[in-house]
C-alpha cells in the first residue's frame, strides 16, 4: 500500500520551495557540443577517453554556484552525479571512471553538497540509469547507446551480463545514499522501451534508498522517460512510482491531476538555451523576463520549475546564464512571496496574466498593461480585507468608479495614471481575503 501520509510529509518542502537549479556537468563540457554528444556522434569509449584524460576544471568553485543559485531565489539544486556517459563526479569505489582519477583529483559531488548546504539550500543528485561506459550495459541494438548500430559490436552482446550492471548501478546509488549525508532529492534518468520499472529492479532499488534516506524525494523516471506520467496518476502508485512527475522542456497546459482529479506533485525541467550540457555555440538563451513568467506559470498550475545551467570545461557557469539568474533574482527579492508556498488559485485565469495563491493570500500577476482598472477576476469587493502592491507594500484601493459600475461582482484596482505597468515583466498584486 502506498503511504500517502509519508508522501505528503516528504514532499511538503518541495511544493513550498517551487524553484530549483539543475546542473548538467561532466566530460561533455570539453567538446562543448551538448551532453548527448556520444550518442549523436557515435563516439566510441576509446575516442571519448581524451576528455577524461584532459578533465581539469581549474575554475570550479561550488561556493560561487551556490551563491548564484540562492541569489536567484532558488531553494534547491540537482547536480549530475553521473550522466549517460557513465563518468562519475563522485569518488565511487565501484569504478575508476570518476573525477578523483582525473587531473582534477577531486570529489566534485562532495564539494557541491557542502557548498550548497552551507547556503541553506536543499540538495539533490541526478543519476543516469543508462551507462554508455559500462561493459555490461546493452550496446548494439539498444535504443540510445552510441554503438547501437555499429556492426562490430553485434556479436559481443551475448557476452554482456545486465545483472552485473544492475549490481553496479544499485551499488553506486547506495554509495550516494550512505556516503554524503542527507540528500533531499534523487533525480533518476530515464526509462525507455523495455528498460523500465523492474528491468532496473526498481522496487528493490527504492526500498534500499528509503532504508538509508527515508525523507528523500524521487522523480518518476524509474518507470517513464521525459514523456509519460507514470503510476502517480493512477490513484494507486507502484512502489517505484517516485514522488513527482517530471515533464521536460514543456509546462503542462493545465497542470497535472490524477484519475480522481487530485492535483499531482510535478516539476518542469527547462533549459536556459537549447542544451543541458555546455554547448559553446548555443546562444539561444531565454530572457530573465521569460523565465520569470514561466516560473509563475508553473506555480500557478501547481508545479515547480527546475531551471538548468551547464557549466563549461573550466567549471564556470556561462555569463549568459548568470545574467538570467541575476535578473530573476532581482524580481524574486521583491515578489518571492507570490512563489514560495503558493500553488493553484482555484480562480479563473485572467486575460492579463496569471494567479498564484497561498491560503487567503491571492497573487495577481499582471504581465500585460490594461486600459484603466485591473479586474481581480473571481473576487468580489466584499471578500477583500486589503490589497497591496507586492513589490513595495503600497496600498491599493478597491475602485469605486462609474467605469466599473457595470461589474459589481468583480473587484477592481488601479496602478494610477500611467498606462505602463510598475514592473513591465510582472507586476504582482497581493489580495488578502477575509476569513
Q: Name which of 179, 223, 225 is nearest 205 in CA terms.
A: 223
pLDDT of residue 275: 98
Q: Name which of 308, 233, 217 is nearest 269 in CA terms.
A: 308
Which set of grid coordinates corresponds to residue 396? 491599493
Domain identity same for 327 and 401: no
- CB-neighbour burial class of residue 131 (10 A; exposed 0-12, middle 13-18, buried 19+): buried
Domain identity same for 326 and 366: no
Tens of pLDDT, residue by residue over 133-188, are 999 999 999 999 999 999 999 999 999 999 999 999 999 999 999 999 999 999 99
CATH code of 287's domain: 3.20.20.80
Element (H, E) at 23: strand 19-23
| DSSP notation for 379-399 | --GGGEEEEEETTTTEE-PPP
Domain contains 229: yes
C-alpha–C-alpha distance, residues 106 and 59, integer Å: 13
Which set of grid coordinates corresponds to residue 19? 524553484
Residue 122 φ then ψ, to 5°: -70, 150
Domain contains 260: yes
Which set of grid coordinates corresponds to residue 282? 548555443
Q: Name which of 241, 200, 234, 206 is nearest 220 in CA terms.
A: 241
Mean of per-residue pLDDT scores for the chain:
98
Domain contains 265: yes
Tens of pLDDT, residue by residue over 101-128, are 999 999 999 999 999 999 999 999 999 9
Domain contains 345: no
Q: Name which of 66, 21, 87 is nearest 306 in CA terms.
A: 21
Stretch 194-220: mean pLDDT, rounded? 98
Tens of pLDDT, residue by residue over 266-320, are 999 999 999 999 999 999 999 999 999 999 999 999 999 999 999 999 999 999 9
Instruction: Yes or no: say if 304 and 268 are a contact pair by the CB < 8 Å rule.
Output: yes
Which set of grid coordinates corresponds to residue 196? 523500465
76 conformational bin, left if phi > 0, alpha if psi -120 to 50, beta if neither = beta
Domain identity same for 212 and 297: yes
Domain identity same for 319 and 416: no
Domain contains 342: no
Domain identity same for 260 and 405: no
Domain identity same for 178 and 324: yes
Domain identity same for 331 and 394: no
C-alpha–C-alpha distance, residues 351 and 122, integer Å: 35
pLDDT of residue 197: 98
Q: Name which of 309, 270, 275 is nearest 290 in CA terms.
A: 270
Beta partners for residue 349, in sequence order: none
Element (H, E) at 68: helix 62-71
Element (H, E) at 401: none
Domain contains 277: yes
3-state secondary structure of 298: helix
Domain identity same for 110 and 240: yes
Domain identity same for 271 and 417: no
Stretch 388-404: mean pLDDT, rounded? 97
Domain identity same for 366 and 300: no
Element (H, E) at 13: helix 4-17
C-alpha–C-alpha distance, residues 89 and 126, integer Å: 11
Element (H, E) at 358: strand 353-358
Domain identity same for 273 and 369: no
Domain extent at residue 388: 353-433
Q: Name which of 79, 80, 84 is nearest 39 in CA terms.
A: 84
Longest distance between any two alpha carbons in the chain, whole Å: 83
Tens of pLDDT, residue by residue over 233-267, are 999 999 999 999 999 999 999 999 999 999 999 99
Our measurement of the distance from residue 385's CA atom to the centroid of its chain's CA atoms, rounded to an integer in Å, reads 36
Q: Name which of 422, 424, 406 is nearest 414 in CA terms.
A: 422
Instruction: Yes or no: say if 282 and 275 are a contact pair by the CB < 8 Å rule.
Output: yes
133 conformational bin, left if phi > 0, alpha if psi -120 to 50, beta if neither = alpha
C-alpha–C-alpha distance, residues 337 and 358, integer Å: 9
Domain contains 164: yes
CATH code of 402's domain: 2.60.40.1180
19 falls in which pLDDT band (50, 70, 90)?
Answer: very high
Residue 71: CB partners within 8 Å, gap ≥ 6? Answer: 325, 326, 329
Domain contains 112: yes
pLDDT of residue 413: 98
Which of 336, 366, 391 is a domain's end point? 336
List, in sequence order, every beta strand (DSSP E) within 239-341. Answer: 266-270, 303-309
Q: How far apart are the first and last CA of the chain?
A: 38
Q: How many domains does the chain contain in total?
A: 2
Q: What is the pTM of this model?
A: 0.98
Domain identity same for 57 and 98: yes
Amino acid at each position: 500500500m502506498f503511504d500517502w501520509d509519508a508522501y505528503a510529509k516528504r514532499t511538503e518542502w518541495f511544493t513550498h520551495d517551487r524553484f530549483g537549479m539543475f546542473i548538467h556537468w561532466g566530460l561533455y563540457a570539453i567538446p562543448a557540443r551538448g551532453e548527448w554528444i556520444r550518442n549523436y556522434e557515435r563516439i566510441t569509449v576509446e575516442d571519448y577517453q581524451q576528455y577524461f584524460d584532459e578533465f581539469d576544471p581549474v575554475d570550479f568553485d561550488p561556493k560561487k554556484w551556490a551563491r548564484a543559485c540562492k541569489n536567484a531565489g532558488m531553494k534547491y539544486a540537482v547536480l549530475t552525479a553521473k550522466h549517460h556517459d557513465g563518468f562519475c563526479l563522485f569518488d565511487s569505489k565501484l569504478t575508476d571512471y570518476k573525477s578523483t582519477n582525473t587531473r582534477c583529483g577531486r570529489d566534485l559531488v562532495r564539494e557541491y553538497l557542502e557548498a550548497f548546504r552551507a547556503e541553506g539550500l536543499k540538495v539533490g543528485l541526478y543519476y543516469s540509469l543508462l551507462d554508455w561506459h559500462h561493459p555490461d550495459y546493452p550496446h548494439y541494438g539498444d535504443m540510445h547507446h552510441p554503438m547501437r548500430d555499429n556492426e562490430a559490436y553485434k556479436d559481443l552482446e551475448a557476452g554482456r551480463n545486465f545483472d552485473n550492471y544492475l549490481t553496479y548501478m544499485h551499488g553506486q546509488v547506495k554509495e550516494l545514499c550512505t556516503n554524503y549525508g542527507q540528500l533531499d532529492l534523487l533525480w533518476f534518468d530515464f526509462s525507455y522501451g523495455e528498460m523500465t520499472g523492474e528491468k532496473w529492479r526498481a522496487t528493490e532499488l527504492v526500498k534500499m534508498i528509503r532504508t538509508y534516506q527515508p525523507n528523500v524525494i524521487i522523480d518518476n523516471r524509474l518507470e517513464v522517460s521525459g514523456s509519460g506520467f507514470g503510476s502517480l496518476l493512477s490513484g494507486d502508485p507502484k512502489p517505484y512510482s517516485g514522488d513527482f512527475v517530471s515533464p521536460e522542456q514543456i509546462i503542462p497546459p493545465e497542470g497535472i491531476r490524477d484519475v480522481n482529479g487530485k492535483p499531482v506533485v510535478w516539476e518542469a525541467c527547462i533549459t536556459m538555451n537549447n542544451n543541458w550540457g555546455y554547448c559553446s555555440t548555443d546562444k539561444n538563451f531565454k530572457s530573465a523576463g521569460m523565465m520569470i513568467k514561466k516560473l509563475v506559470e508553473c506555480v500557478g498550475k501547481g508545479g515547480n520549475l527546475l531551471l538548468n545551467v551547464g557549466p563549461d570545461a573550466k567549471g564556470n557557469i556561462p555569463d549568459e546564464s548568470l545574467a538570467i539568474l541575476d535578473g530573476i533574482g532581482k524580481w524574486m527579492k521583491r515578489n518571492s512571496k507570490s512563489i514560495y508556498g503558493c500553488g493553484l488559485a482555484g480562480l479563473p485565469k485572467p486575460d492579463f496574466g496569471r494567479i498564484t495563491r497561498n491560503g487567503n493570500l491571492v497573487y495577481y500577476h499582471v504581465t500585460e498593461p490594461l486600459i484603466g482598472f485591473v479586474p481581480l477576476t473571481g473576487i468580489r469587493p466584499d471578500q477583500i480585507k486589503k490589497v497591496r502592491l507586492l513589490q513595495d507594500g503600497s496600498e491599493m484601493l478597491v475602485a469605486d468608479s462609474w467605469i466599473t459600475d457595470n461589474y459589481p461582482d468583480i473587484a477592481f484596482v488601479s496602478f494610477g495614471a500611467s498606462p505602463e505597468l510598475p514592473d513591465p515583466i510582472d507586476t504582482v498584486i497581493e489580495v488578502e481575503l477575509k476569513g
